[in-house]
Amino acid sequence: MATINATLTVSSSDLTSNNLSLSKQMTMSKAGTSTGLELTSGLVRRTFTSTNHVDLITSGAQNYGTPTASDSGAASKVYIKNTGSDSTQYFEVGLGTSSGSGTATSDAIGGTHLAIGKLYGGDWMLIPAHLKATVGDITVQPSTAEKMTIEYMIFFE
Amino acid sequence: MATTTASLSLTSTDLFDDSLSISTSNALNKAGTTIGLDQTTGLNKIYLTATTNVDVITVPGATKDGKKSHVYISNLSMDETEYMVVSVGDKVIGRLYAGDWMWMPWNQQAQHLSDIEIAPSVATGMWVEYMIIHEGVVLTSSADS
């Protein structure tokens, strides 16, 4: 086992009338245990030069752990960052099936894809991931065909 | 406008032969601008006593589609076997086990589609913390009867 610590700090002196100072640390453990996660994709860096909607992370047992048919007990985590600095350019991050074209797969309740949010230049996210085949895929769609770079890292069982 | 910063530190001394040390920090701005986000739900703390899947935030419409938000959720349980399933709409993101937290961007794309939902694994009581920093949410119309 390994010990992987992730610490989030959110701070502001003027968002509200009192200072905001949130600091939260987690140690990444295997599902239902205190045994640390010990596998990782390493820090992956990818550059995009089109606005095609694509899989950033293609899930499935053969790649990342052993997710089950019931959305899995895996306690995997995914870190993603838009390494750019342009405040107008973003990656739209989604879950499910990518279209492979410039038009993203439609979002709908009961559908095969859902965009959850946008990472503008410098933005990052850290989320749990069940990595179940197909529906656990993480998709991205760049906002521009200009060169944009993303970094991601998966921690899994 | 406000200046709000979100920072992450990822470290491990034994995941690799070499140490892992990633740190990043960014200012939370409105979509497509360098103007800081200026609204927040504040830090919410709730106690859930059923395994029912519930909306933490309901999106009643699409008028905030394209606006920018960041979401923090943490499972405050101390029992390593307890978890909660976090979803956006009907799409499961994953499980937050005891002590786990998540931080993600969020787009209020459409009614119900973008609701943030959590479902505890146990009905014996689970503390949950969450906060959204945003540039606007749609509130539902009041009704007294």
Which site among A41, A97, A116, A126 would you substitute to test the B interface, given the most B Cβ atoms closer than 10 Å to its Cβ?
A: A116
Q: Tell me whether residue A74 is exposed, middle or buried, using C-beta atoms within 10 angstroms of its C-beta: 0 to 12, 13 to 18, 19 or more.
A: buried
Residue A19 lies in a domain: no
Residue A84 lies in a domain: yes
pLDDT score of B38: 96
66-125 in A: which are within 8 Å (CB) of B? Answer: 71-76, 79, 81, 87-88, 90, 92-93, 95-96, 107-110, 114-120, 122-125
Total domains in chain A come to 1
> Is some CB atom of chain B closer than 8 A to the CB atom of A7?
yes
For residue A96, give its domain range.
39-156
Of the candidates A88, A81, A86, A77, which has an alpha carbon nearest to the alpha carbon of residue A140?
Answer: A81
Residue A116 lies in a domain: yes
Residue A23 has pLDDT above 70, yes or no: yes
Cβ distance B89 to A109 less than 8 Å, yes or no, reads yes
Residue A77 lies in a domain: yes
Cβ distance B93 to A122 less than 8 Å, yes or no, reads no
Residue A56 has pLDDT above 60, yes or no: yes
Residue B110 has pLDDT above 70, yes or no: yes
pLDDT score of A114: 94
Average confidence score pLDDT of chain B? 94
* Among A137-141, B44-48, B137-141, the least confident range: B137-141
ipTM: 0.96
Of B7, B12, B42, the CB nearest to A3: B12
When the candidates are 3.30.1360.200, 2.60.120.10, 2.40.33.20, 2.40.50.100, the CATH number that belongs to B39-134 is: 2.60.120.10
Of A110, A123, A129, the CB nearest to B90: A110
A33 DSSP assignment: S
For residue A50, the one-letter residue type is S
Strand A4-12 with A20-27, pairing: antiparallel
CB B116 within 8 A of CB B107: no
Distance from CA of B79 to the nearest CA of A (A): 8
| Coil, helix or strand at residue A66 | coil
Residue A142 lies in a domain: yes
Taking the C-alpha atoms of residue A60 and residue A134, their distance in angstroms, rounded to an integer, is 7
CB B35 within 8 A of CB B115: no
Q: How far is CA B96 from the centre of its chain?
A: 11
* Among A24-38, A57-71, A100-114, the least confident range: A57-71
Could you tell me the strand order of the sheet in which A113-120 lies?
A54-57, A138-142, A90-96, A113-120
pLDDT score of A62: 67
We report the CATH number of the domain holding residue A113 as: 2.60.120
> Residue B141: which pLDDT band, with cuts at 50, 70 and 90?
confident
pTM of structure: 0.96
Residue A77 has pLDDT above 90, yes or no: yes
The pLDDT > 70 percentage for chain A reads 92
**Per-domain boundaries in chain B:** 39-134
- DSSP code string of chain B: ---EEEEEEEEESSSSSSPEEEEEEEE-B-TTSSSBP-EE---EEEEE-S---EEEE----STTTT--EEEEEEE----TT-EEEEEETTEEEEEEETT-EEEEEE---STTTT-EEEEES-SS-EEEEEEEEES--PPPPP---
Taking the C-alpha atoms of residue B18 and residue A131, their distance in angstroms, rounded to an integer, is 26
Question: Tokens 């140690």, residue?
Answer: A27
Residue A11 lies in a domain: no
Residue A82 has pLDDT above 60, yes or no: yes
Residue A50 lies in a domain: yes
